[in-house]
Amino acid sequence: MTNYRDRGIVLRTYKLGEADRIIVLLTEHHGKVRAVAKGVRKTTSKIGARLEPMNHVDVLLHRGRDLDTVSQVDLLSANVDLRSDLDVLTAGMALLEGADHMTQDREACPQTYRMLLGALSTLAQGPSPVLVAAFYWKLLAAEGLSPQLEECVGCGSPDNLVAFDLAHGGVQCTSCRSGIALSAEALVLMRQILGGQLVAALTAGESSATSEVTGLATRAMEFHNERRLRSSAMFEHRR
């Protein structure tokens, strides 16, 4: 087996056997990696606590056919602040889930890695009601699925944009409307997120518009991935 070292963010873990865990990492240079961490569920393990979801680590791995093996782990950031508040923790897990759904095993995706690292850092500085939504829209845009927000996807009109159609990937006017209702305030937020004004969008206070943008981002992620997000329940509760 070949050894390699990379930096990564722990997306999730699950049990294997009596003492091991499988760790799913989004790495900087090797994409999403699944690796066995042997003996980490034992009380004597020195690395178990370093391999918790949301942790940023420097890891040495042995490449295997299906699963790699964790050999060494150095903790870069434990993101302890993200676990001190339930709402913040839930938002953090939603970020991890979105990145997990939008990446493939062993396919390098440095942009997604950097986006996730930045989103977790922003969350640690203080939650924003549109942070998760912004991350989802940015993930979709990075995959070539950026929505049409300037004119109706049906007729091309730039006026009276009142709805969003998931299948056609953009806004609709009153004449073409068949999708989900979209307020003018929510449309402004979406344009800020995807139009280079992300900082302004993240400073928005919680409102019906931020709930709209979050709900729509979640539905767009589910639509394009053809599976439901576990974090959907959080967004539905907020709406």
Distance, in Å, from the CA atom of 157 to the CA atom of 124, rounded to the nearest integer, reads: 41
The CATH number given to whatever domain includes residue 64 is 2.40.50.140
User: Is the same domain home to 59 and 153?
Assistant: no
Q: Find the DSSP H helices in the chain.
A: 86-101, 110-125, 131-142, 184-194, 198-202, 208-225, 232-238
103 within some domain: no
- Determine phi and psi for 54, rounding to 5 degrees: 85, -15
Residues 176-196 have a mean pLDDT of: 97
User: Does residue 143 sit in the same domain as residue 54?
Assistant: no
Confirm whether 95 is domain-assigned: no
Number of domains in the chain: 2
Instruction: Judge if 153 and 228 occupy the same domain.
Output: yes
7 pLDDT band (50/70/90 cuts)?
Answer: very high
> For the chain, first and last CA: distance in Å?
49
- Look at residues 80, 96, 112 and tell me which one is the last residue of a structural domain: 80
- The answer to whether residue 198 is domain-embedded is yes
pLDDT of residue 86: 86
Residue-level pLDDT at 79: 82
Q: What is the pLDDT of residue 33?
A: 97
The domain of 15 spans 3-80
Question: Is there a domain that residue 116 lies in?
Answer: no
Instruction: Tell me if 143 is assigned to some domain.
Output: yes
What three-state secondary structure class fits 81? helix
pLDDT in tens, 26-73: 999 999 999 999 999 997 888 988 999 999 999 999 999 889 999 999
CA-based torsion, 194, 197, 203, 207: positive or negative: negative
> In this structure, is residue 186 part of a structural domain?
yes
Q: Are 21 and 47 in contact (CB under 8 A)?
A: no
Token output for 41: 């569920």
Q: Tell whether the model's pLDDT for residue 235 goes beyond 60.
A: no
Q: Is residue 105 included in any domain, yes or no?
A: no
**Upper half-sphere CA count for residue 212 (Cβ side, 13 Å):** 18
State the Cα–Cα distance between residues 118 and 111, nearest whole angstrom: 11
